[in-house]
Chain A
Amino acid sequence: MHSFDVLVIGGGHAGVEAACGAARMGARTALVSFDLGAIGAMSCNPAIGGLGKGHLVREVDALDGVICRAADAGAIHYRMLNRSKGSAVWGPRVQADRVLFKAEVQRIVKAQANLTLIAGEAAALRLESGRVAGLELADGTALDAPRVILCTGTFLGGTLFRGEERFTGGRIGENSAQRLAKQLRGADLPMARLKTGTPPRIDGRTIDWASLPEQASDDESWTMSALTERRANPQVFCAITRTTEAAHDAIRANLHRSPLFSGAIDAAGPRYCPSIEDKIHRFGDRDGHQVFLEPEGLNTHLVYPNGISTSLPVDVQHDMVRAMAGLSKAEIVEPGYAVEYDHIDPRALTPDLQLRAIPGLYCAGQINGTTGYEEAAAQGLIAGLNAAAGETDRQAPFLDRANSYIAVMIDDLTLQGVSEPYRMLTSRAEYRLRLRANNASTRLTKLGVEAGCVSDERSKWFEHREAARTVLAPLFAQKLHSKDLAEADLPVRRDGGEKPISEWLRHDGVEFADLMPWVDTELAEALYANTDLADEMAEDAAYEPYLARQEAELRDLRASENLALAGDFPFGEVPGLSSEMIERLTSASPPTLAAAGRVPGVTPAALSALLVYARRWQTAA
């Protein structure tokens, strides 16, 4: 069997979601990986989720993806970041046992219908008249497929740096990577270089845990996946330490030996996740930086010191680590290093993550200039669903900036490109108040069911939940009088008048539990049986005035989304566009007028010129 609808290359987070997503859509799919045993490996930090990233993986879960279920299976520490802020910016995050996480990913992948796993080295794309026709493996095997998804991480020209040491890196063997890389370079795709890094791993048995403050797992019961009923594993705590002046001195004395400062690496790294030498250099006035010591699993002594990613020489890493509280005797098991790699300018991609230059070829994950498991998983899912939709009679779910972080990310990537590794942040989402990590199912699962990428199990769960929503609705509409609330010692004014429960919940100090005396027993029971849903509905009510104000904005947005600037739109012929505007618009190829407005540097006047010309062009076509 050498013929498929969709071929996925790579078994990381992007590859797994792409392969499973395509298979769920009913496409005959194969996942090709050099080492099938490495599918689902966490290559860097052992954590899933976080600010913005938690939103992404919850959305992947809402469309029945793999990552959240695997995260719950491996989770040994749950933490809701930003808990003190509004719920729209809460970031669910877990630390996962690498072994348990990988085992669950492999279990799901193997159980997935329509999905074949092929162990092999991808050697070259097979192209026919400019289109993808399949893949050739290093052993000469030819695989047929009209759609191929590249989820190959940093294999394109990856170099590892550690002090004066250099290694050529990449997860695919050197020769095959070169042939594939040569093909991509031959396609004249715009490429650029980025940098990322990882900290040294420490032997937990050499850490003086007792001397350090602990950070315990949240004692609540929330989980990453909507389908996980309860937390599976014993929960471990992290410890917090800090860098010290002595550690900073050790770094400063050796800055010239860091490839970041010696000039060996000149690619841009992530501003929001800088290496420790970068932090010392840029924030010289600070006497210390926080470091989280995160256990990598239940059955390993490895500890991940979050916050000291570095490419300094091994001896300096050693001195720096030992200068920190609780780490005076710490042993480094695996030193940290920096990776510099090539990525494709994602503006060469269409919104379904297909390369404009090579129809049928999709790219997802780090190859598109992003960083992080979560960003990779979300892109993999979108590439998988769209590639499958191209070969089946189904349609991928419609995602836009108003309904998902996934669409925000893909829109940002394909229109704006990247100048540093792209990481999701809540501030990237304009409609953040409606895009909460805890309402991802409400936003997306229905779209997933309609697209056909959601399992029966999740469909049933969702139906059940929507039924509960109908039951709970009257509770929010029930009116209570301020006098009654005030008499029950709730912090409201006596003369506030009669208001629905949805409005009372907006008052500081008024919680569901406070209002139960006035609520019908049956409704109260329904509430306690569906607390997650009830919380979500209460948040909707709280944000309601703001959401209502956004409606006009969304109408305008959708109207200009409807004005298509199709692939062959002649930006160069629009009268009055400066050559700079033409260059920016042509390289981003915005598919709609609304998207054109988000291309960086495009002026209001240029947009108006586009609008006028696009109308004429549309009528003429």
Chain B
Amino acid sequence: MSDTIFAISSGAPPAAIGVIRISGSEAGSALRKLAGRDFTARRSSLTTLRDADGDTLDQALVLWFPGPATATGEDLAELHCHGGRAVLAAVSRALEAISGLRAAEAGEFTRRAFANGRIDLAEAEGLSELLSAETELQRAAAIQMAGGAFSDQVEAWRTAVLRLSAQLEAALDFSDEDDVSELPPQFAEGIGMLSQELEEWLSRPRAEKLGEGYRVVLAGPPNSGKSTLFNALIESEAAITSDIAGTTRDVIERNVAIASIPFSFVDTAGLRDESEDTIERIGIDRAREQFARADTVLWLGPEGEGPERAWEVAAKSDAPDYQAKPSADYILSATKGAGVDELKQGLVEAARVALPKPGEAALNARQHAVLSDAAQALRGAIDQGDPLLCAEELRQARGAFDRLIGRTTTEDMLDALFGRFCIGK
């Protein structure tokens, strides 16, 4: 039988409330030892927690969930204590002293939920994303994954491929018997439609994009107002601004959420080819790398001289040396803030298109790779004239679907996945 585990499941103390979760067969008896009584299932009750010597630890709200219909599939208790460090440490010590109980390892609660059949692999992955979600969009995408929407989709694909395989296998194994007809004409069409659907999913924005944020790189010659605009966009003083050309020598990156959308703003060194300052040169090289990774580049230099597809921005419209950019996308004053809101609005609209839609499950890197295998197999099946090899491609696609929902999972992959959870979930 496995140990009973416990951990602080809320954020790092101190906080107003600290939640300690206990999961396992000894959860009930541990609760009895601390509170001195039994609890009604699924009701919150205020109680006094005491240690083995009878000394009061805390006044806490206690929730008792008998297994197996719980988050972990085991008996589960939650102690909503006061969130001070000393309080939580004392309660943890008291739990640790109970035999059969130990502190949980990273991801162990979720691992138990998975092992006990409460969630499947895709759901566990969604939960992992959910817990690290920082913005509303990230949360909405992760909740789709954790809720099993993607698992249901994979199951549907798997069934579709299975149906196609069955038609093909019938033609292979029974073709000499005239009672079995040849492949139905819709067969190739069926593979084509499925393949297209997968390609569509693969071309969707990825889950990592939500974590990384929509990447906006500010670029332009020295002293074109990049850092001032950068600060206006992130609404803080993260980048050092001054009037001396070349102040920003390296790349500065800040993550902020605008209208619940995660952004990553990047301020780069000014692009001066003639610079002889080595440190600054390195900064310029890095700026060029940044262009390649950017979702949008804001070009603050002379019109038409920026990287391809950059947005033309005139950032110093109120400066005495203002160089007109007649077809600029945005004309603004970074120092006074005029026009900055319009630019933000433009970025939000661009990001909404490029990031996963609210309520849409987004794939992480592993899921994307495995789904690509399935898509590749289906593409191979379309072109395949030999029904035997077509059948093999379909089998490969089925295997990929199985891997997506963890049917043929290996322990390494599980360790890697569950190691990503913070302790207590």
Residues of chain A at the chain B interface (Cβ within 8 Å): 51-52, 81-82, 84-86, 88-89, 91, 272, 279, 283, 286, 289-290, 425-427, 430, 432-433, 546, 549, 553, 556, 559-560, 573, 575-578, 581, 597, 603-609, 611-613, 615-616
Are B115 and A549 in contact, CB atoms less than 8 angstroms apart? no
Are A608 and B406 in contact, CB atoms less than 8 angstroms apart? yes
Set of chain B residues within 8 Å of A546, measured between Cβ atoms: 389, 392
Given A576-B68, A609-B115, decide whether A604 and B406 contact each other with a Cβ distance below 8 A.
yes
Are B179 and A89 in contact, CB atoms less than 8 angstroms apart? no
Given contact pairs A85-B387, A427-B172, A433-B389, enumerate 13 new A-B contacts (beta carbons under 8 Å). A82-B172, A85-B175, A86-B387, A89-B388, A289-B178, A290-B177, A290-B178, A427-B169, A427-B391, A556-B410, A607-B409, A609-B117, A613-B115
Q: Is B76 close to A, CB under 8 A?
A: no
Are A577 and B388 in contact, CB atoms less than 8 angstroms apart? no
Are B388 and A86 in contact, CB atoms less than 8 angstroms apart? yes
Given A290-B178, A433-B392, decide whether A597 and B173 contact each other with a Cβ distance below 8 A.
no
Contact with A along B152-189 (1 / 0, CB 8 A): 00000000000000000100111111110000000000
Are A51 and B176 in contact, CB atoms less than 8 angstroms apart? yes
Most chain-B Cβ atoms within 10 A of its Cβ — which of A290, A549, A553, A575?
A575
Are A607 and B74 in contact, CB atoms less than 8 angstroms apart? no
Give the interface size bracket for B toward A: 35 or more
Pick the residue among B117, B177, B178, B387 that contacts A576 (CB under 8 A).
B117
Are A608 and B175 in contact, CB atoms less than 8 angstroms apart? no
CB contacts under 8 Å to A, within B327-386, are: 386
Set of chain A residues within 8 Å of B117, measured between Cβ atoms: 576-578, 581, 603, 605-606, 609
Contact with A along B88-103 (1 / 0, CB 8 A): 0000000000000000
Are A608 and B414 in contact, CB atoms less than 8 angstroms apart? yes
Are A615 and B411 in contact, CB atoms less than 8 angstroms apart? yes
Set of chain B residues within 8 Å of A612, measured between Cβ atoms: 111, 115
Bound-state CA distance A603–B2 (Å) is 21
Count how many pairs of residues, one from A and one from B, have CB atoms less than 8 Å apart in the complex. Answer: 114
Are B116 and A609 in contact, CB atoms less than 8 angstroms apart? yes
Given A86-B388, A576-B68, decide whether A426 and B172 contact each other with a Cβ distance below 8 A.
yes
Set of chain A residues within 8 Å of B176, measured between Cβ atoms: 51, 81-82, 91
Set of chain B residues within 8 Å of A560, measured between Cβ atoms: 410
- Closest-by-CB residue of B relative to A427 is B169
- Closest-by-CB residue of A relative to B409 is A608
Are A605 and B114 in contact, CB atoms less than 8 angstroms apart? yes
What is the distance, in angstroms, from A50's C-beta to the closest C-beta of chain B? 9
What is the distance, in angstroms, from B195's C-beta to the closest C-beta of chain A? 18
Set of chain B residues within 8 Å of A286, measured between Cβ atoms: 179
What is the distance, in angstroms, from A454's C-beta to the closest C-beta of chain B? 30
Set of chain A residues within 8 Å of B388, measured between Cβ atoms: 85-86, 88-89, 432-433
Pick the residue among B119, B121, B173 that contacts A425 (CB under 8 A).
B173
What is the distance, in angstroms, from B74's C-beta to the closest C-beta of chain A? 7
Most chain-B Cβ atoms within 10 A of its Cβ — which of A283, A290, A430, A612?
A612
What is the distance, in angstroms, from B260's C-beta to the closest C-beta of chain A? 33
Sampled A-B contacts (25; CB under 8 Å): A84-B175, A85-B387, A85-B388, A86-B386, A86-B388, A88-B388, A89-B172, A89-B173, A91-B176, A425-B169, A425-B173, A427-B391, A546-B392, A560-B410, A575-B115, A576-B68, A576-B74, A603-B120, A604-B406, A604-B409, A607-B409, A608-B414, A609-B115, A611-B411, A613-B115
Set of chain A residues within 8 Å of B246, measured between Cβ atoms: none
What is the distance, in angstroms, from B187's C-beta to the closest C-beta of chain A? 15
Set of chain A residues within 8 Å of B111, measured between Cβ atoms: 612
Bound-state CA distance A575–B112 (Å) is 9
Bound-state CA distance A608–B173 (Å) is 34
Given A575-B1, A575-B115, decide whether A82 and B392 contact each other with a Cβ distance below 8 A.
no
Q: Is B286 close to A, CB under 8 A?
A: no
Set of chain A residues within 8 Å of B179, measured between Cβ atoms: 279, 283, 286, 289-290
Are B396 and A549 in contact, CB atoms less than 8 angstroms apart? yes
Are A576 and B73 in contact, CB atoms less than 8 angstroms apart? yes
- Closest-by-CB residue of B relative to A424 is B173
Q: Is B306 close to A, CB under 8 A?
A: no
Pick the residue among B120, B174, B410 that contacts A272 (CB under 8 A).
B174
Q: Is B209 close to A, CB under 8 A?
A: no
Q: Is B34 close to A, CB under 8 A?
A: no
- Closest-by-CB residue of A relative to B72 is A576
Question: Top 10 closest A-B pairs, CB basis?
Answer: A576-B116, A86-B388, A605-B117, A427-B169, A604-B407, A609-B115, A604-B406, A290-B178, A425-B173, A576-B73
Q: Is B395 close to A, CB under 8 A?
A: yes
Most chain-B Cβ atoms within 10 A of its Cβ — which of A91, A576, A607, A616?
A576
Set of chain A residues within 8 Å of B323, measured between Cβ atoms: none
Q: Is B399 close to A, CB under 8 A?
A: yes
What is the distance, in angstroms, from A479's C-beta to the closest C-beta of chain B? 25
Set of chain A residues within 8 Å of B395, measured between Cβ atoms: 430
What is the distance, in angstroms, from B364's C-beta to the closest C-beta of chain A? 18
Set of chain A residues within 8 Å of B407, measured between Cβ atoms: 597, 604, 607
Bound-state CA distance A606–B116 (Å) is 7
Bound-state CA distance A89–B387 (Å) is 10
Q: Is B40 close to A, CB under 8 A?
A: no
Most chain-B Cβ atoms within 10 A of its Cβ — which of A81, A85, A279, A615?
A85
Bound-state CA distance A505–B119 (Å) is 49
Are B115 and A85 in contact, CB atoms less than 8 angstroms apart? no
What is the distance, in angstroms, from A159's C-beta to the closest C-beta of chain B? 28
Are B115 and A576 in contact, CB atoms less than 8 angstroms apart? yes
- Closest-by-CB residue of B relative to A610 is B115
Bound-state CA distance A556–B409 (Å) is 9
What is the distance, in angstroms, from A329's C-beta to the closest C-beta of chain B? 25
Bound-state CA distance A234–B74 (Å) is 73
CB contacts under 8 Å to A, within B377-425, are: 386-389, 391-392, 395-396, 399, 402, 405-411, 414
- Closest-by-CB residue of A relative to B386 is A86
Set of chain B residues within 8 Å of A615, measured between Cβ atoms: 411
Set of chain A residues within 8 Å of B115, measured between Cβ atoms: 575-576, 605, 608-609, 612-613
Set of chain A residues within 8 Å of B169, measured between Cβ atoms: 425-427
Set of chain A residues within 8 Å of B172, measured between Cβ atoms: 82, 85, 89, 426-427
- Closest-by-CB residue of A relative to B377 is A549
Set of chain A residues within 8 Å of B2, measured between Cβ atoms: 575, 616
What is the distance, in angstroms, from B181's C-beta to the closest C-beta of chain A? 10
Bound-state CA distance A262–B405 (Å) is 46
Are B175 and A575 in contact, CB atoms less than 8 angstroms apart? no
Bound-state CA distance A85–B387 (Å) is 7
Bound-state CA distance A559–B412 (Å) is 12
What is the distance, in angstroms, from A87's C-beta to the closest C-beta of chain B? 8
- Closest-by-CB residue of A relative to B404 is A604
Are B116 and A575 in contact, CB atoms less than 8 angstroms apart? yes
What is the distance, in angstroms, from A227's C-beta to the closest C-beta of chain B? 27
Bound-state CA distance A86–B384 (Å) is 12
CB contacts under 8 Å to A, within B1-56, are: 1-2
Bound-state CA distance A263–B15 (Å) is 73
- Closest-by-CB residue of A relative to B414 is A608
Set of chain A residues within 8 Å of B174, measured between Cβ atoms: 51, 272
Are B410 and A559 in contact, CB atoms less than 8 angstroms apart? yes
- Closest-by-CB residue of B relative to A81 is B176
Set of chain B residues within 8 Å of A427, measured between Cβ atoms: 169, 172-173, 391
- Closest-by-CB residue of A relative to B115 is A609
Set of chain A residues within 8 Å of B173, measured between Cβ atoms: 51-52, 89, 425-427
Bound-state CA distance A608–B395 (Å) is 22
Set of chain B residues within 8 Å of A86, measured between Cβ atoms: 386-389
Most chain-A Cβ atoms within 10 A of its Cβ — which of B114, B115, B121, B396?
B115
Set of chain A residues within 8 Å of B114, measured between Cβ atoms: 605, 608
- Closest-by-CB residue of A relative to B171 is A85
- Closest-by-CB residue of B relative to A594 is B408
